[in-house]
Amino acid sequence: MKKILNSVESLLEESLNGFAKAHQDIIQFNHQPHFIRRKDSSPKPKVALISGGGSGHEPLHTGLVGVGMLDAACPGHVFTSPTPDQMIAAAESVENGAGVLFIVKNYAGDVMNFEIAGEMLDCPYDTILVSDDVSLPKDHSTGRRGVAGTVIVEKIVGAAAEAGASLAECKVLGDRVNNATATMGVALTSCTVPALGKPTFDIGHNEMEMGVGIHGERGREPMELSNASEIVEHLVAAIDVDLQPKQGQKVLLHVNGFGATPLMELYLVFELAETLLKDKGVDVVRSLVGNYTTSLDMAGCSVTLTLLDEQLIALWDAPVHTANLRWGC
């Protein structure tokens, strides 16, 4: 394993220090306990959006803190949930009279720790549970995982909170976006957790893992490696079965890289997915391509589709200024 690091133990702290220095105009880094918060607080009461999860998915979530998106993010160790004390400290730092909304990916550790934190807060709070991974059935014992669709939820709800929506309104909106969003991923290689020092799972030279999770969880099925068109057909078909977009439906198409796939390949995936959707009569009116919900050094990508209406389009287009997503500011 070749990694650019001093030690496994110091990697997260040093990385967060570098992130904070590089983006000191946007965010502040609280060291003990770790959380990233917006530098400029809203001058009027505003719902505070807080998310978080294990590190290794950058820029999710720390790179999405700023105007029009998250107020704070709590990074845990690599692929490890942040702790309740991080979430409580972050909430106390950014809450300013309109309550706190947690945006949580559906993983057991994240769900449990955010629930514990919420119960210990002295302000109103609610939770959006993101569950967009259609590689798992809807009736899966622990529910579907939250993956790249988390970015879509955070952006749209962040815009609504910035515009003055109430805690209840933001909660309803976030659940609606989650239910209108579906993601399917494919891995060409495993990822390597620094502390483990070897690939998380084995995958053959001529294999791919369809439906892989963002922590290196084995997917729906291993398949023989095929060309880009066939890969995208599998991804889009799984999403189509779940969302069943109608003719003329406006959608946001998000192609997300897992960390080791070049943009040249991601844009190829977008081209193929957009063409397939267009042939089905689906209208791709908004797009996002790049590395937003990564899995360390995994090669592969995911395709996310969100069904849009005019309200959601306006909220997606609203100004945002974070380290890794910005327009209109």
Rounded alpha-carbon distances, angstroms, from residue 144 to 71, 136, 233: 26, 6, 21
pLDDT at 201 (0 to 100): 87
268 — phi, psi (to 5°)? -65, -45
Residue 89 CA to residue 177 CA, distance in Å, equals 28
Tokens of 94: 């950014």
11-179+316-327 domain in CATH 1.10.10.10? Answer: no
Query: Per-residue confidence at 130, pLDDT binned at 50, 70, 90?
Result: very high
Average pLDDT over residues 105-134: 97
For the question of residue 215 being annotated catalytic, the response is yes
Residue 299, pLDDT > 80, answer yes
Whats the size of the chain, residue-wise? 329
Tokens of 20: 């904070």
For the question of residue 77 being annotated catalytic, the response is no
Given the residues 23, 34, 57, 61, the one annotated as active site: 57
Contact by Cβ (8 Å): 301, 256: yes
Average pLDDT over residues 297-320: 98
Tally of CB atoms within 10 A around 82: 27
Residue 278, pLDDT > 90, answer yes
Residue 177, pLDDT > 80, answer yes
Which of 273 and 196 is assigned the larger pLDDT? 273
Residue 141, pLDDT > 90, answer no
The whole-chain average pLDDT of the chain stands at 96
Average pLDDT over residues 229-254: 98
Residue 186 CA to residue 235 CA, distance in Å, equals 8
Residues of the chain with CATH 3.30.1180.20: 181-309
Top-tier CATH class for 181-309: alpha beta
DSSP calls for 64-130: GBEETSBSEEEEEEETSPPPHHHHHHHHHHH--SS-EEEEEES-HHHHHHHHHHHHT-SS-EEEEEE
pLDDT at 142 (0 to 100): 84
> 30 CB contacts (<8 Å, ≥6 apart)?
36, 37, 89, 90, 93
Residue 102, pLDDT > 90, answer yes
Whole-model pTM: value is 0.97
Residues of the chain with CATH 3.40.50.10440: 11-179+316-327
Residue 135 CA to residue 219 CA, distance in Å, equals 7
Contact by Cβ (8 Å): 286, 324: no
Given the residues 61, 215, 234, 254, the one annotated as active site: 215
